[in-house]
A = this chain, B = another copy of it.
Amino acid sequence: MSEKIVTAAVLVIGDEILSGRTKDRNIGYIAEYLANIGVDLREARVVPDIEDEIVAALNALRARYDYVFTTGGIGPTHDDITADAVAKAFGAAIDEDPRALALMRTRYKSDELNAARRRMARMPVGAELVDNPVSPPPGFRIGNVVVMAGVPAVMQAMLDTAVKTIETGTKMTVQTIDAGAIPEGRYAEALGAIAAAHGETIIGSYPSYADGSFRNQIVVRGRDPAKVATTQAAVEAMLAEIRAAAKPV
């Protein structure tokens, strides 16, 4: 089958994540969202509200992946420096975008649209708006970089809008096989042999821990559903053999 691969990175911008004040929920959300539309998230980074850090991370990521999704730093306060940093990364001028301003004029009363709020209409020249139904100011996209809010509800609404403009690839087929209480160490060698024999699929083994004991899941991923099914069958047969061996006759 013909496979198309589209890649992405997430850049989370915000002191509040690195200080522990706010627990990031955007990386996981975007990861799952992109997987569901056929975009592979390949890397995520969290950087502080420091322009040089944002510029360096953004330039590293946008050169390497098809898309970069940023979250955070596009509000009206002094610590919101993402638009300026993105403009600097692209070597673009930054200015008040007339479309963004027009949109905001319809959403703020005239005495509300003060200088601080007007700052949110500033975007790198060449950007396209990424609107959302949750908050008045839009995000934007420039080149392969989509710039979104940090507040999860707003980010999620912007992502819904932004993905309409991006290319997507062949979606990964994912099968999860429950290994239950069989310890990883019990099936690791056999699973490694299956992984080596089925190179077109990716196999992961994931323990979780609750109430003093581990339980494990094995995940098989790949772009060709038939190959994923073949690998899945091999994993299930291997686990069945272990379960049978463990049972008294």
Contacts and interface: CB of A to CB of B under 8 A. Distances in A.
Tell me how many chains of this kind the complex includes: 2
Given A209-B134, A209-B153, A219-B16, A76 B188 contact: yes
A245 to B, nearest CB: 13
A35 B19 contact: yes
B16 A20 contact: no
A132 to B, nearest CB: 11
Q: How large is the interface on A (under 10, 10 to 19, 20 to 34, 35 or more residues)?
A: 35 or more
A213 to B, nearest CB: 11
Contact residues of A: prevailing secondary structure:
mixed
Contacts of A41: 18-20
A70 to B, nearest CB: 15
A19 B172 contact: yes
A191 B78 CA distance: 7
Interface stretch (A44-52, A89-97, A162-170): A44-52
Given A76-B188, A191-B78, A35 B16 contact: no
Interface in A102-128: 112, 114-117, 119-120
A153 B151 CA distance: 28
Contact of A117 (B15, B78, B135, B185): B185
A32 B44 contact: no
Task: Select the residue from A31, A32, A53 with max chain B CB neighbours within 10 A.
Answer: A31
5 contacts: A17-B27, A18-B41, A18-B43, A116-B192, A117-B188
